[in-house]
């Protein structure tokens, strides 16, 4: 008598069929994910890492090329500066045009925001889901947040393609063109677009299915956590712009 093998099928390192399923048949995809009860977040996070890096590389290339083609803009009162001050300024401008400033720092900031944002958001959504009566785990929350973030990979691809075709960087991402630059509303709108709404819908649907939450509670949990996270990111961006920080080029959203 042969005992059937009841062990689950091996996890695919890169599950392309599920990528398409989450984007276009999310209900079936999240239902399958709930029945597996294992970590399956590697595929979306690898994709998001690749697309985030692609945007940084394209932006860095265009910024470097623009700096090489244009003259350095001198500050007001340049003629009255001492030679040492002028040399220090020119050296600082050259450093800002180097690969560390154009590629390494933005890439580090972008990937740090991506991975830490994923962990933090999953933890908060899991906590909220538990308070609302959900029966999910931290592992399932990581899965849902990772897969629900796939629309941002599409957004990154479109942004990279646009910059290559237009041969210049994007100065007003998403809806930020409707607000004055640098303010809180600007940074909120910079994170708000159709891809963000798509992401919200996938989050609500994912937690409703995987954590067995009623649709209303899944919506409330997702809306509260994401809204607070969005406000926190916008305030941090305002603070960073006020002190002249520019290393982190990408929010989690």
Q: Which tokens go with 138?
A: 């931290």
What pLDDT does residue 4 have?
A: 47
What are the structure tokens assigned to 64, written together?
């470097």
pTM over 0.85: no
Quote the tokens at residue 128: 């909220």
Q: What is the pLDDT of residues 154-178, one digit of tens each?
A: 999 999 999 999 988 887 788 877 7
- Higher-pLDDT residue of 127, 187: 127
Whole-number pLDDT of residue 239? 79
In which element (H, E) is residue 44 found?
A: helix 42-69
pLDDT at 82: 83
81 secondary structure, DSSP code:
S
Alpha-carbon distance of 239 to 65, in angstroms, equals: 29
Is the model's pLDDT at 2 over the cut of 50? no
CB proximity list for 25: less than 8 A, separation 6 or greater: none
| pLDDT category of residue 3 using cuts at 50, 70 and 90 | very low
For 198-224, what is each residue's pLDDT tens digit?
999 999 999 999 999 999 999 999 999
Q: What is the DSSP letter of 132?
A: T
Q: Looking at the predicted structure, is the pLDDT value of residue 97 above 80?
A: no
pLDDT band at 72 (very low <50, low <70, confident <90, very high): low
Residue pair 109/250 in contact (Cβ under 8 Å)? The answer is yes
- Report the pLDDT value the prediction gives residue 174, as an integer from 0 to 100: 81
For the chain, give the mean pLDDT. Answer: 85
Place of tokens 């592992």: 139
pLDDT band at 89 (very low <50, low <70, confident <90, very high): confident
| Dist. CA 231–CA 23, nearest whole Å | 26
Confidence band for 246, pLDDT divided at 50, 70 and 90:
very low
Task: Measure the CA angle with vertex 229, ends 247 and 50; round to 5°.
Answer: 50
- Higher-confidence position of 247 and 204: 204
| Predicted pLDDT at 11 | 57
Cβ atoms within 10 Å of 23's Cβ, excluding its own: 16
- pLDDT of 245 > 60? The answer is no
**Assigned token pair, 100:** 């560390």
Backbone angles phi, psi at 171, to 5 degrees: -90, -30
The token duo for 99 is 């690969």
């Amino acid at each position: 008598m042969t005992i059937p093998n009841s062990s689950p099928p091996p996890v695919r390192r890169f599950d392309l069929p599920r990528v398409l399923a989450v984007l276009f048949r999310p209900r079936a995809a999240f239902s399958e994910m709930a029945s597996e009860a294992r970590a399956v977040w590697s595929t979306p996070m690898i994709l998001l890492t690749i697309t985030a890096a692609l945007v940084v590389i394209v932006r860095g290339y265009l910024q470097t090329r623009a700096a090489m083609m244009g003259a350095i803009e001198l500050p007001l009162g340049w003629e009255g500066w001492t030679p040492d001050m002028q040399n220090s300024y020119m050296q600082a401008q050259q450093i800002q045009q180097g690969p560390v400033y154009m590629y390494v720092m933005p890439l580090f900031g972008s990937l740090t925001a991506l991975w830490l944002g994923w962990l933090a958001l999953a933890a908060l959504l899991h906590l909220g889901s538990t308070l609302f009566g959900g029966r999910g785990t931290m592992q399932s929350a990581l899965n849902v947040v990772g897969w629900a973030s796939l629309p941002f990979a599409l957004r990154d691809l479109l942004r990279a393609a646009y910059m290559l075709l237009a041969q210049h960087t994007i100065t007003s991402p998403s809806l930020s063109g409707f607000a004055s630059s640098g303010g809180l509303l600007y940074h909120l709108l910079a994170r708000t677009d159709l891809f963000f709404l798509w992401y919200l819908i996938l989050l609500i649907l994912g937690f409703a299915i995987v954590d067995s939450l009623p649709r209303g509670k899944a919506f409330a949990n997702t809306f509260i956590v994401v809204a607070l996270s969005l406000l926190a990111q916008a305030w941090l961006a305002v603070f960073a712009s006020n002190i002249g920080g520019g290393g982190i080029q990408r929010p989690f959203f």
